[in-house]
Structure 1
Amino acid sequence: MISVDTKAKEWLGNRDRPGRTWRPGKDAIKVDCHTFTTNDQPMAIPYGIYDVANNTGWVNVGTDHETAEFAVESIRRWWRNRGRADHPNATRLLITADAGGSNDPRRWTWKNNLAAFARESGLEITVCHLPPGTSKWNKIEHRMFCHITANWRGRPLTSYQVVIETIAATTTKTGLTIGAELDTGSYDLGVSVTPAEFHAPAITTNAFHGDWNYSLAPVPPRTPEVLAVGRRIDPDLIMMLTNPALTGMPRTDFEHLVAISEPYWDAMAEAAFQRRFHRPRSYLHPQTSSLDHSHRLLAAILRRRKAVTSTFLAHLLGVTRTNLSNQFQDGNRLLDLHRVVVSPLPGSAARTLEQLHARATPIEPLH
């Protein structure tokens, strides 16, 4: 089990540092009085890996950008230099991390690079992200990073060599030892994944908050043929979900609503993408295309009708509850735009397939 996180970035140079340290009399360290940051100012980006069982650490000090690729490369370097020797018989690896930064669970570049590392190492990797606002519970924060901060207090970090040596010299009475290495690799910003890369990793989500807890198997990436089969939703299931007893409208009216609202959704998705990334979409983003337009609209109608719970509907459609919540928002906007009135069904929403069949028992009227 390892705990990972990025320590605060440090500007290099003869800059003053917080904290106090003992020095010989009249031998104070002189630093620049005014320090201004420029574009060519070197920066140290320490990404730490803490081995909970062995009380050992590893810090990969980057010089470029803090990206998901850099985070996974740091874990890879720890495994090659220390982890493999400390755990020669390991077949699984548990990673605890916070829910932001380079190891954000919403970043598919993080999951894709982690899946590649799983294939290289042969390890089954399980990741558990701490909920937002609880990152300080991550063990690396109070078992390793705090000691590094105390070790270089009051000492200007004038070069990468000083950073590496100071980190490597950090020890504690309980036996903590830390290795450090300089990573001069280049990690580009703004890297996105293609739809094929989005669905390629063999990810198994946990029943409890699958968006934060998931496993990656050391298997080859799934092929497009397998992906097409995996994304297909059972037609019999769609036939049952579009039952007028559940949707409150005949199937012909639902199909007409899907046809007239699809252009509006494309325009809304394009506008939302440009507001966020300030550029047009180059392709249909995989996170918004996990459900097609008809399924997205159907989910919004069923949720407004209170015909089925969100958790059970997400299970039926093969998506996470978080993803389905985003689909609800898009679908509700379209329903409001076309002034579709949806009346809720009496009783509790269906939580099982048997309850859903029971709510769909009214027979569709003959025309």
Structure 2
Amino acid sequence: MTAAREDVEGLQERFDVLLPHLNEGQRRLALATEARLLGHGGVRTVARIAGVSETTVRKGVFELESGQAPLSEGRVRRVGGGRKPADEVDPQLLAALLGLVEPDERGDPESPLRWTTKSLRHLAEELTRQGHPVSAPTVGKLLRDNGFSMQANAKTLEGRQHPDRDGQFRYINDQVKEHLGAGEPVISVDSKKKQQLGRLPNGGREWRPQGEPIEVEDHSFFFTGPDVAQAIPYGVYDLAADAGWVNVGVDHDTSAFAVASIRRWWHNRGCLDYPRASKLLITADAGGSNSYRYRLWKAELAALAAETGLAITVCHFPPGTSKWNKIEHRLFSQITMNWRGRPLTSHEVVVNTIASTRTRTGLRVHAELDTGDYPTGIAVNTEQFQALPIHPHSWHGSWNYTIAPTGATASEPVQDRDRARTEVLELLTDPRVIGMTRVELDELSAQLAPGQAARAAQRRWEQRGGRRRHAPGAGGRRLLCDAAGVLITIVYLRQLCSQNVLSELLEVNPNSIGEIIAETRALLDEHDHRVTPATQLRFTSATAVRAFLHDRSEPGPTPPPSELLSEPALTGMPRQKLHHLIERLAPRQAAVTERYRHTRRGGERMPGARGGVFVEKITDADRVLATVLLHRKLCTRGTLAELFGVSRGTIPNAALLVSPLLEQDGTTITPAPTRFRTAAELLAAIPRSDTNTADSPP
């Protein structure tokens, strides 16, 4: 009995030490071995001591006596053990799952999950609804086994590619190699995303004491709009020196600001790093403030070339490929990582954060604050632009061009532009131009001033989405005051010149001119003030306006086209008969025109629509006259469009409306015996005498 008790105590001790280190199969075989050594009753004894089922011990004995080969390394059970995979139990499960998660162009177009987040839980619920009960973990395993994984969007599509995209890349690469090989500076420029200042959330995280995150605003409704302080970083990246220069502006991201940033880089760093430089290569994208389409960008670069004596070559990346510009991933990406998780509360924070940007490869960045004014809307007229020393390259001259320092004139400072604009506005107050005295103009401006201020306040409220957060005047400087807006609106409504002519006179963008005229015209209508069109004055160029305002005889104003083209020798009828014809057709023409516009817009005019804010370049009387001349076959439609100063499509559109009215009126137009090839020939054929000898048809 003592020996048996000692054997049992020895088993207990061995089991306590050994069994915790064995897996399921190894424990079963170890217990079976001890049971066989004990002989009869060993299974029950071992099961009692180890605290397991007798069936488990007996199963181990059977495994030892069967003589099966040991399991392969890493396996606990033989192949075939456990439940069968879900896709074997339900053969249709995998096909149903792939039909839900395959890309939209291959999957079921009627799938309920086509427009829903395809989470494992949603997929499991939909499969269960279709008669394939399955759990979310099983769905994940099936997806992984079939080559699926969680993936984010890949920003690789560049939209419609220009056919010369790759050729432009190679050309830029050749230009960079040529300039770097000659020791000349090569810079990559661009404007970084505008940053609103304040305690606003910034993407990313940074190390801070646990439980003490930086508190920021949860809504940014009042941190947008024209009155909110902002920072506009414009970067200059030196490819050879691996150095960055960032000019942080506070006003507007204009072409003048872009070139001013390059100028500051050159005077503070470029001229020191490249004292013998004679050329400068700039690589830039195709849009933004350094767009290849902007005249002001090229005019400011011409001024910089004249100032520094450098021949400035500019190579623009094709549209839609700005991410290939070196500054994007060499400078701007490093700045973004450096200020991650940090609210940009002031200009000082922005400048210091940018200036502290470093990389292990040697990048160093310098940043400065630029508090200068760079107003929007500045335009460069055709005469000034044509005088610039710009030499397009043989390969895509619009994208690649060189601006020579010789012959270029320095760009006018902002103060000089303002002074010149003020002088032009003063000249436009001539009573011959505006049809009223200076006192009457001042009274009208004072009358409209409250309405202009109210509309401006409403516009800014809508832009910022709420109340003002900063003091009045915190926004950018305006090029034209309210009184100037009234003046140019009167000049335009008197039909003295086009918006493009006003743009060249004032060096203001035509879009800005159009917005001012639209808003001021609405105020004039509210005050029931009517502006009478001029009958004897019509200017087609800024030069003609200046000449007239300075009392010069040439080139002077030109009479309206209707006065010249209504000559009986051209129309085939006396002027009085033409006048009566226009009077008869006027009411019917207005009705037909309104019916035509109603059909085009598909119903009544929407509330708040412009309703004809701008005066049309061709009147109803001119439409009748143009149709008569077209039926006379004096010249082509293009020549008539040139004579009336309208687009080529306006003349046939006018004839489409007026021709049926002429037939209803019973008026027959006989073709002219002579056909003129150009507008100059037609005007030369008009009799110049005042004897009215042409009062009868030729």
TM range (shorter): 0.5 to 0.7
- Any residues of structure 2 matched to 1:164-203 within 5 Å, and which? 164-203=351-390
Residues 100 and 31 (structure 1 numbering): CA distance in 2 closer, same or farther, change over 3 Å? same
2:397 pairs with one of 192, 210, 234: 210
**1:219 has 2:406 as partner:** yes
Which structure is higher in helix share? 2
CA contact (8 A) 2:392 2:398 kept: yes
Residues 114 and 282 (structure 1 numbering): CA distance in 2 closer, same or farther, change over 3 Å? farther
Residues 275 and 16 (structure 1 numbering): CA distance in 2 closer, same or farther, change over 3 Å? closer
Task: Give the SS at the match of 1:278.
Answer: helix
Partner of 1:140: 327
Q: Distance in 1 between matches of 2:197 and 2:499?
A: 45
Q: Distance in 2 between matches of 1:283 and 1:4?
A: 39
2:514 pairs with one of 278, 281, 305: 278
Partner of 1:30: 215
Q: Shift of residue 32 of structure 1?
A: 1.8
Q: Shift of residue 39 of structure 1?
A: 3.4
Partner of 1:113: 300
Amino acid at match of 2:383: A
Q: Distance in 2 between matches of 1:282 and 1:171?
A: 59
Tell me which structure has the larger Cα radius of gyration.
2
Q: Distance in 2 between matches of 1:274 and 1:10?
A: 28
Residues 207 and 77 (structure 1 numbering): CA distance in 2 closer, same or farther, change over 3 Å? same
Residues 63 and 169 (structure 1 numbering): CA distance in 2 closer, same or farther, change over 3 Å? same
- Any residues of structure 2 matched to 1:330-349 within 5 Å, and which? 334=648
Q: Shift of residue 283 of structure 1?
A: 6.7
Task: Give the SS at the match of 1:219.
Answer: coil
Partner of 2:84: none
Q: Shift of residue 88 of structure 1?
A: 1.1
Which structure is higher in strand share? 1
Amino acid at match of 2:408: P
Q: Higher relative contact order at CA 8 Å, sep ≥6: structure 1 or structure 2?
A: 1
Task: Give the SS at the match of 2:648.
Answer: helix
Residues 116 and 282 (structure 1 numbering): CA distance in 2 closer, same or farther, change over 3 Å? farther
Q: Shift of residue 335 of structure 1?
A: 8.2
CA contact (8 A) 1:3 1:51 kept: yes
Task: Give the SS at the match of 2:217.
Answer: coil
Partner of 2:566: none
1:205-230 Cα shifts (integer Å, max 9, x gaps)? 011110110000011338xxxxxxxx
1:156 pairs with one of 343, 349, 355: 343
Residues 56 and 268 (structure 1 numbering): CA distance in 2 closer, same or farther, change over 3 Å? closer
Q: Distance in 2 between matches of 1:4 and 1:84?
A: 17
**1:3 has 2:188 as partner:** yes
Partner of 2:248: 61
**1:44 has 2:234 as partner:** no
**1:77 has 2:267 as partner:** no
CA RMSD across the alignment: 3.2
Amino acid at match of 1:67: T
- Any residues of structure 2 matched to 1:232-311 within 5 Å, and which? 278=514, 284=541
CA contact (8 A) 2:391 2:403 kept: yes
Partner of 1:93: 280
Partner of 2:637: none
Partner of 1:304: none
Q: Distance in 2 between matches of 1:81 and 1:269?
A: 39
Q: Distance in 2 between matches of 1:59 and 1:99?
A: 20
Partner of 2:317: 130
Aligned residues: 254
1:142-174 Cα shifts (integer Å, max 9, x gaps)? 100000000001100000000000000001011
Q: Distance in 2 between matches of 1:285 and 1:97?
A: 33
Amino acid at match of 1:334: R
Q: Distance in 1 between matches of 2:387 and 2:212?
A: 59
Residues 137 and 283 (structure 1 numbering): CA distance in 2 closer, same or farther, change over 3 Å? farther
Q: Distance in 1 between matches of 2:292 and 2:253?
A: 15
Task: Give the SS at the match of 1:81.
Answer: helix
Amino acid at match of 2:213: A
1:75-115 Cα shifts (integer Å, max 9, x gaps)? 00000111111111111000000011110111110000000
Residues 34 and 335 (structure 1 numbering): CA distance in 2 closer, same or farther, change over 3 Å? closer
- After TM superposition, the runs of 4+ consecutive aligned structure 1 residues lying more than 3 A away are 266-270, 273-277, 279-286, 335-339
CA contact (8 A) 2:238 2:244 kept: yes
Q: Distance in 2 between matches of 1:23 and 1:192?
A: 50
- Any residues of structure 2 matched to 1:318-329 within 5 Å, and which? none
Structure 1's unaligned 5+ residue stretches are 223-265, 287-329, 340-367
Q: Distance in 2 between matches of 1:39 and 1:71?
A: 20
CA contact (8 A) 2:305 2:408 kept: no
Q: Distance in 2 between matches of 1:218 and 1:80?
A: 16
Q: Distance in 2 between matches of 1:90 and 1:45?
A: 29
CA contact (8 A) 1:195 1:285 kept: no
Q: Distance in 2 between matches of 1:80 and 1:276?
A: 33
Amino acid at match of 2:264: R
Task: Give the SS at the match of 2:337.
Answer: helix
Structure 2's unaligned 5+ residue stretches are 1-185, 410-496, 502-508, 518-537, 544-640, 654-698
CA contact (8 A) 2:377 2:512 kept: no
Residues 285 and 26 (structure 1 numbering): CA distance in 2 closer, same or farther, change over 3 Å? farther
CA contact (8 A) 1:125 1:215 kept: yes
Amino acid at match of 2:263: R
Task: Give the SS at the match of 1:144.
Answer: helix
Task: Give the SS at the match of 1:80.
Answer: helix
- Calculate percent identity across the aligned residue pairs: 53
TM-score by length of 2: 0.34
Residues 274 and 189 (structure 1 numbering): CA distance in 2 closer, same or farther, change over 3 Å? closer
Q: Distance in 2 between matches of 1:131 and 1:52?
A: 20
Q: Distance in 1 between matches of 2:539 and 2:196?
A: 36
CA contact (8 A) 1:58 1:178 kept: yes
Amino acid at match of 1:6: S
TM-score by length of 1: 0.63
Q: Distance in 2 between matches of 1:269 and 1:121?
A: 33
